[in-house]
């Protein structure tokens, strides 16, 4: 536009071109230039509006994606000792954690009771074997009691206990068989006496 306007000004003084025509052309060029200026201004306003809208859009999206960052930092308030203790024990008061803790406690108590029960049964079995051993011996001397206490309690010897148990069981088995044999002999003697008495009755006149 500037170049065209310069050319028109150069030929303005030539007599072959009317002054009115030259002025009209210059006016048209001024109008075009003014229109371009207004269009450029409008374009700049539109671009500015688009930039502002884009900035607002991305700002809202960032708030959605990072809500913690969008929050304004609050002023820290002093926390009382009671609140600190409550915040620490609150997770332990949740139903799921309470049920899990109760289950663990029940399992531990059951395990402890089972261990105690096994130990008690072992002690009863040991006392039973020691008592039966003393019955087999027929006496309870200090050396026998000391031997039993040493192998059953102070220095537990499982091999000795097993051997002693087998000895006691074998003795009890033989004693029971002997008692059964004696009982059969007694019954036979009683039957023989009865037969003898009956025979004596028949032999009398």
Give 9's pLDDT tier (boundaries 50, 70, 90): low
Share above pLDDT 70 across residues of the chain, in percent, rounded to a whole number: 57
Section 17-23 average pLDDT: 56
pLDDT of residue 5 exceeding 60, the answer is: no
- Cα 87 to Cα 118: distance, rounded to the nearest angstrom: 43
CA distances from 181 to 112, 185, 186 (A): 49, 6, 9
Q: Which pLDDT band, with edges at 50, 70 and 90, does 3 fall under?
A: very low
Range with the poorest average pLDDT among 32-36, 83-87, 194-198: 32-36
Q: With 70 as the cut, is the pLDDT of residue 160 above it?
A: yes
Which is more confidently placed, 81 or 168? Answer: 168
pTM of the prediction?
0.42
Pick 113 or 31 by higher pLDDT: 113
Answer yes or no: is pLDDT of 77 > 70.
no
Per cent of the chain over pLDDT 90 is 15
List the chain domain ranges. 113-203
Q: Residue 131 has which token pair? A: 């008592």
> DSSP secondary-structure letter at 11?
S
Q: Where are the beta strands (DSSP E) in the chain?
A: none
């Amino acid at each position: 536009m500037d170049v065209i306007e310069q050319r028109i000004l150069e030929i303005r003084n030539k007599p072959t071109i009317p002054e009115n025509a030259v002025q009209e052309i210059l006016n048209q060029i001024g109008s075009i230039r003014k229109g371009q200026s207004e269009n450029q201004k409008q374009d700049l306003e539109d671009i500015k509006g688009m930039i502002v809208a884009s900035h607002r859009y991305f700002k809202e999206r960032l708030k959605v994606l990072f809500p913690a960052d969008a929050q304004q930092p609050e002023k820290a308030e002093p926390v009382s000792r009671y609140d600190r203790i409550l915040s620490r024990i609150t997770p332990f008061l949740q139903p799921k954690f309470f049920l899990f803790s109760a289950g663990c406690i029940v399992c531990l108590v059951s395990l402890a009771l089972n261990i105690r029960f096994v130990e008690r049964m072992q002690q009863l079995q040991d006392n039973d074997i020691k008592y039966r051993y003393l019955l087999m011996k027929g006496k309870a001397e200090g050396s026998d009691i000391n031997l039993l206490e040493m192998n059953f309690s102070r220095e537990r010897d499982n091999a000795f206990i097993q051997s002693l148990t087998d000895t006691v069981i074998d003795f009890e088995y033989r004693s029971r068989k002997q008692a059964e044999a004696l009982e059969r002999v007694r019954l036979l003697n009683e039957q023989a006496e009865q037969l003898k008495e009956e025979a004596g009755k028949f032999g009398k006149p």
